[in-house]
């Protein structure tokens, strides 16, 4: 436990300068955006393109549609669309400026330092992440928050026997991940964190149907997000099968046959997950390992 805390402290120190640099650059871009929106003339093409990309993110357009617009629209057309959505961009700039404060760090530390974190502590962090803007999400990531959540899941996975408390802790930690992965920066950071998708996947346990359904929902979104996400999910599910000494996806198939209260929702989640995995996996070989 002490070794894990030392490693996290070292990692936090190593990214401090990088975090400050990124924050300064983001503040510079924010001021440039505000100045450009209030200026009477269109800025240079590079600034227009940057602002247009930020607008695409703010509008949450599908990646393919956004890419096509970025590549094909002229600078004048981009600027026209930017001006039409000026308030959206100003709101994004205002949201980015909100910081991750001492109270937020304390909520994360309470989970990191506890052998078994309380459900209330995790709910406090979950609520902070649900209402977080870009600035807070970025600071949470730099505070090694994803590593803390991942390590907490692994500690509960090592608990024997697994109890209802373990199920409740895992459920709330996964709600934190769900809130975090609801935006591009959070999702990208989760995919970069070693063992994170594996830890989420390994928590699948159909004794707690709500927990299992939540995990399948997170994994489906991850598959849809990118090819890298789909590959990580596929690899993690296969490793889970090997860990349980089962054939691939046997856990899901056994759960599908269960006759329990609330089982219909789980069966629907399983079918949807398998369907998404098939759709998003380009190589047949990977689907049938």
Please give the average per-residue pLDDT across 76-103, as a whole number: 79
- Reading the block at residue 287, the tokens are 């689907």
Is residue 96's pLDDT more than 90? no
- Reading the block at residue 233, the tokens are 């999910």
The model's pTM: 0.69
225 vs 92, residue with greater confidence? 225
What band does 5 get if pLDDT is binned at 50, 70 and 90? very low
Under a CB-based contact definition with an 8 Å cutoff, are residues 208 and 167 in contact?
yes
Measured in whole angstroms, how far is the alpha carbon of residue 207 from the centre of its chain?
A: 25
> DSSP string spanning 215-260?
HHHHHHHHHHH-HHHHHHHHHHHHHHHHHTT--TTHHHHHHHT---
Max Cα separation, the chain? 67
Output the CA angle 286-66-224, nearest 5 degrees.
25
What is the pLDDT at residue 67? Answer: 85
Interval 130-162: pLDDT, tens: 878 777 888 899 899 999 999 999 999 998 888
């Amino acid at each position: 436990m002490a070794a894990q805390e030392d490693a996290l402290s070292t990692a936090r120190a190593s990214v401090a300068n990088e975090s400050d640099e990124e924050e300064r650059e983001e503040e510079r871009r924010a001021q440039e955006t505000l100045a450009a929106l209030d200026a009477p003339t269109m800025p240079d093409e590079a600034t227009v393109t940057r602002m247009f990309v930020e607008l695409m993110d703010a509008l949450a357009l599908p990646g393919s549609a956004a890419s096509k617009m970025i590549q094909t629209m002229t600078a004048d057309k981009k600027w026209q669309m930017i001006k039409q959505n000026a308030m959206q961009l100003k709101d994004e700039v205002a949201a980015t400026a909100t910081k991750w404060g001492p109270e937020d760090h304390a909520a994360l530390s309470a989970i990191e330092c506890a052998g078994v974190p309380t459900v209330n502590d995790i709910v406090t962090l979950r609520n902070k992440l649900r209402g977080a803007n870009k600035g807070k999400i970025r600071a949470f990531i730099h505070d090694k928050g994803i590593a803390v959540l991942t390590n907490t899941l692994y500690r509960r996975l090592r608990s024997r026997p697994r109890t209802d408390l373990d199920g409740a802790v895992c459920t709330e930690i996964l709600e934190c991940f769900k809130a975090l992965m609801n935006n591009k920066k959070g999702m990208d950071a989760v995919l970069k964190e070693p063992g994170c998708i594996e830890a989420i996947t390994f928590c699948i346990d159909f004794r707690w149907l709500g927990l299992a359904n939540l995990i399948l929902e997170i994994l489906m979104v991850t598959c849809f997000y990118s090819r890298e996400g789909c590959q990580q999910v596929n690899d993690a599910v296969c490793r889970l099968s090997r860990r349980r000494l089962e054939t691939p996806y046997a856990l899901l198939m056994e759960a599908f046959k269960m006759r329990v209260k609330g089982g219909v929702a789980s069966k629907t989640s399983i079918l949807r997950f398998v369907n998404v995995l098939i759709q998003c996996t380009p190589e047949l070989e990977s689907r049938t390992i």
